[in-house]
Amino acid sequence: MTSDAGTAWLRPDSDGMGSATAALGDQLARALAGAARVPGLPDATELDAVVVLGMGGSGVAGEVLAAVAGERGRRPVVAAGDYHLPSFTGPRTLVVAVSFSGNTEETLSSATTALDRGAHVVGITGGGLLGEMLGDAGKPVIRLPEGIPQPRAGIAAMVVPLLLLCEQVGAIGPVRAELEEAAALSRARCRELASGGGTAAEVARRIGRTIPLVHGAAGLGAVAARRFKTQVNENAKAPAFFSSEPEACHNEICGFGQNGDVTRQLVTLVVLRTGLEHPQIARRFELFGELTSEALAGVVTIDARGESGLARFFDLVAVGDFVSLHLATREGIDPGPVPVLDEVKARLGAVAG
């Protein structure tokens, strides 16, 4: 999946992550255009809860849904990133298994248990063992488009069908209008960022070789902060950490009382603002930066654009993704391949036989 926006400044880039990142708005629009009702699913009166299975880049979809449901959900939503299902899962639970490859072992394990418990199971996947298993069981499978180089580059392709599926069964309220706004806004933002300048380049310059500590407000802001952190990990192959407000002002803020001579050389606070936070959350962001500033290399704030919560979330995703690409290219790092993950999977497979 590519975009007209050029990212020639990103070198090396063996997987085409620059083009894939620039295509966020296009991916949102295509996912919306291709969405269809999933047959055979219960309505809200037949459901007690929704469980979303997923790990890594695929797991973000469940986190987004849980954040949306926390604000306006009609049924509880649990994002489960583990080998085990929540104990309540049963015939009145919708279980959505999200796996880009279809071979994520944690997701396969939990999906197998969900089938055994008689849950309503749907897959969102590119195929693999998950697609085969659910197909053999006669369960619906929403196929991901081809051409996405890495799971982390397919966030919109996984989030959109998941949200619309849950809208269909009445687990959440309407979201299509927000996703349409997100698509239009992301197209414009990515054209701007793909040029190699703008907000993302400046944030990457200010982070430099320090370690970003990314803060967002609980809900979609926190999901955006975690996404920023993991994109730095995978694209730039660099350490990063995240936290959320108001929790950070109850504990993490205490951790800068000592070792300031070290942290002021190593840690840059990156604050992601949706602009929709509770006024006291906004104040907590300010206080955290103010009270820890002498122990930090710097404080950077990124303000989201847009009207709706989902549009602002995807705007922060676009900026964070491009920041991670700038951090990669500054060090001559290829953002696509993640060989250490391949090694982890290989070693786990060898242990398991």
List 46, 84, 250, 343, catalytic entry: 250
Which of 278, 307, 343, 345 is flagged as catalytic?
Answer: 345
| Angle, in degrees to the nearest 10, between helices 176-193 and 155-168 | 170
Q: How far apart are CA 30 and CA 24, in angstroms?
A: 10
Let me know if 250 is a catalytic residue. yes
Calpha distance 115→257 (Å, rounded): 50
Q: Is 345 among the catalytic positions? A: yes
Backbone angles phi, psi at 305, to 5 degrees: -100, 160
Would you tell me how many other CB atoms lie within 10 Å of the CB of residue 265?
11
> 24: burial class by Cβ within 10 Å (0-12, 13-18, 19+)?
buried
Distance (Å, whole) CA 337 – CA 17? 10
Catalytic residue among 234, 237, 277, 326: 234
Annotate 40-68 with three-state secondary structure.
CCCCHHHCCEEEEECCHHHHHHHHHHHHH
d(CA 66, CA 222): 11
Separation of alpha carbons 120 and 92, rounded Å: 7
Among all residues, which ones are annotated catalytic?
A: 234, 250, 345
